[in-house]
Amino acid sequence: MDFKKHIADNIQAGDLTPDEIYAMLALPPNTEMGDFALPCFRLAKTMRKPPVKIAEEICAAYPKDALVCEVTAVNGYVNFKIDRDFWAKETLGTILSAREKYGSSDEGQGKTVCIDYSSVNIAKPFHIGHLSTTVLGSALYKLHKFLGYRPVGINHLGDYGTQFGKLISAYKRWGKKEDIEKGGLRALNALYVRFHEEAEKDEALNDEARAFFKKIEDKDAESVALFEWFKELTLKDVGKIYDLLDVHFDSWAGESFYNDKMQPVIDELSEKGLLVESEGAKIVDLEAYGMPPCIILRSDGASLYATRDIAAAVYRKKTYDFYKCLYVVAYQQNLHFKQFFKVLELMGKEWAKDLVHVAYGMVSLEDGSMSTRKGKVVYLQDVIDKCVDKALGIITEKNPSLENKEEIAKTVGVGAVIFGALYNNKIKDITFSYDKVLNFEGETSCYVQYTCARANSVLAKGGRAQSFEAKNILPQEFELIKQLSDFPATLKDALDKYEPCFIARYAVDLAQKYNKFYFDCKILGAEEGEKNFRLALTEATLITLKNALSLLGIGVPEKM
Ligand code: ARG
């Protein structure tokens, strides 16, 4: 139950709507003052009264009930105190009956949200640079679904461009079928790297590559077959990682899918007088908006990345009639998105306002960055494998007799990679550290998972409380209850701001509060009534932690 909403609905403050009041209700720094506070300073102007007076009036008019046990007016604030026993009972009751649905809602009903994420490039390494888009996008996908939206996960494959000509040329010169079949993406990348090395010495190679690319475009059987084979190998390799990370897509329509969908867009641009010629190329002039021109067709008539994105947006609107279309792509592409969003707006697409670039920062390893061309690249698969390996080492050391160690290490290691990428505000650049993400006492998924194992063990010993009563709640219990009841609001906030990190931080906070409670309050040794309440609290915590982690794509082992 949303107490804030309950209070907002009952407050009478001039002609403010409950939604406006809801947004104004704050959390007082000190719970002794109250659980929610309404600052009245901003109301002074419209209500033409001093804030202190307004607060007193609102306080006097508020109808008290079982939920709100105390309302006071202090220095221009109205403070509301919620009956703690009531709060506890409501919260635990809600969680224990909703269980894996706790936190879900139907706010998104009837709304389709396209989410373009991961969007890997064919025959290019799936490296650590793709980690954020993949796990952020996937978390946003799950979160939208949980809140009642219909998400459409789109992997906008990078499957078009001259690099495929290079690859065919390299393969025909130096490639062996068996090696590629065995080596997958890494073998393809090795060919690509070799091409660049050799092309530096021999210019003619680039012409050959262009010719091969042209052959793909002209649907030459051999070239197309090779390209399709590269694509298949890539999807097989990245599919393994998607499985590990619990990532799914509804559409794999990549750049080449729009080959035949660009002409109508180009025609429309030209009809609307937006297309101008510049040095042989066709562009949309964006100078008035402080941006360089958006190039639509190169002087040789070839389309560009932006051309495909414009066609893709039009296609998505037509196909899915989206409420929002999100692009989870690194901030390096800020300009690209600003440009093509603007072009769509200039074309008169009123829905251009519903396109959102969900930009995120860079991930690097502690030992430096990477470059695809030079072959110095950190494969995501290697990072995951190393984390799982390290997790196995730690688990074996902590609990040598644990069964299913490998399975558990996988859940812990993979979780650490995901959580490591999601814990900070997405726009921040992060340095990935194995020791940090696998610190069992840190702000990590393994800390949260470990807390779940602790809760599981308490429940295994104490059993599930069949019924419970909430009486004379202790501060540690109340802090935990409050945090538990904040889960739905956290999810809503995470969705509104496209910040899965709110969920990750929430989980760590909740785990910390549970552990404080666990160490300060006897559970199994408490007298019957208290014991039942604390078992219920333990179970509600476990449910909520699991729900939070599962939205991020992270599992929870029973034991650790
Ligand atoms: N494949 C692109 C890259 O790796 C990302 C594509 C993002 N999606 C989009 N619609 N532009 O940079």
Give residue-wise pLDDT tens across range 394-406. Answer: 999 999 999 999 9
- Are 147 and 107 contacting, i.e. CB atoms less than 8 angstroms apart? yes
Section 353-364 average pLDDT = 95
| Domain stop point among 52, 82, 112 | 82
Ligand 1: which of 156, 238, 357 to mutate, most ligand atoms within 8 Å of CB? 156
- Are 292 and 194 contacting, i.e. CB atoms less than 8 angstroms apart? no
Q: How confident is the model at residue 372 (pLDDT cuts 50, 70, 90)?
A: very low
CA atoms of 537 and 523, how far apart (whole Å): 10
Residue 405 within a domain: yes
Residue 524 within a domain: yes
Give residue-wise pLDDT tens across range 57-91. Answer: 999 999 988 889 999 999 999 999 999 999 999 99
- pLDDT score of 109: 98
Measured in angstroms, how far is the CA atom of residue 119 from the centroid of ligand 1?
5
CA atoms of 101 and 89, how far apart (whole Å): 18
Question: Of the given ranges (2-6, 29-33, 240-244, 516-520), which has the lowest mean pLDDT?
Answer: 29-33
Section 213-236 average pLDDT = 93
- Are 503 and 493 contacting, i.e. CB atoms less than 8 angstroms apart? no
* Domain of 449, in residue numbers: 390-424+433-552
Question: Of the given ranges (125-129, 250-254, 501-505), which has the lowest mean pLDDT?
Answer: 125-129
- pLDDT score of 368: 64
Residue 437 within a domain: yes
Kindly report the pTM of this predicted structure.
0.93
pLDDT score of 375 more than 80: no
CA atoms of 339 and 3, how far apart (whole Å): 43
CATH number at residue 509: 1.10.730.10
- pLDDT score of 30: 79
CA atoms of 364 and 368, how far apart (whole Å): 6
Contact 253 CB / ligand 1 (< 6 Å): no
- pLDDT score of 400: 94
| Domain stop point among 82, 107, 134 | 82
Give residue-wise pLDDT tens across range 314-333. Answer: 999 999 999 999 999 999 99
- pLDDT score of 295: 97
CATH number at residue 62: 3.30.1360.70
Contact 89 CB / ligand 1 (< 6 Å): no
Measured in angstroms, how far is the CA atom of residue 350 from the centroid of ligand 1?
23
Measured in angstroms, how far is the CA atom of residue 151 from the centroid of ligand 1?
19
Q: What is 264-312 written as a DSSP string?
A: HHHHHHHHTT-EEEETTEEEE--GGGTS--EEEE-TTS-B-HHHHHHHH
Ligand 1: which of 115, 116, 119, 335 to mutate, most ligand atoms within 8 Å of CB? 119
Give the mean pLDDT of the chain: 94
Geometric angle at alpha carbon 104, from 101 and 108, rounded to 5°: 145
- Tell me how far apart the 2 most distant CA atoms of the chain are, in Å: 86
Residue 27 within a domain: yes
**CB hemisphere CA count around 99 (13 angstroms):** 1
- pLDDT score of 371: 46
The residues, any chain, with a CB within 8 Å of residue 465's CB and separated by 6 or more, are 531, 532, 533, 535, 536, 539
Question: What's the domain count of the chain?
Answer: 2
Residue 100 within a domain: no
Burial status of residue 533 (CB atoms within 10 A of its CB: 0-12, 13-18, 19 or more): buried
Instruction: Compare 214 and 102 and report the one with higher pLDDT.
Output: 102
| Domain stop point among 60, 82, 104 | 82
- pLDDT score of 465: 85
Section 479-501 average pLDDT = 95
Residue 224 within a domain: no
Residue 533 within a domain: yes
Section 440-464 average pLDDT = 97
CB atoms within 10 A of CB 118: 27
Residue 509 within a domain: yes
Give residue-wise pLDDT tens across range 237-282. Answer: 999 999 999 999 999 999 999 999 999 999 999 999 999 999 999 9
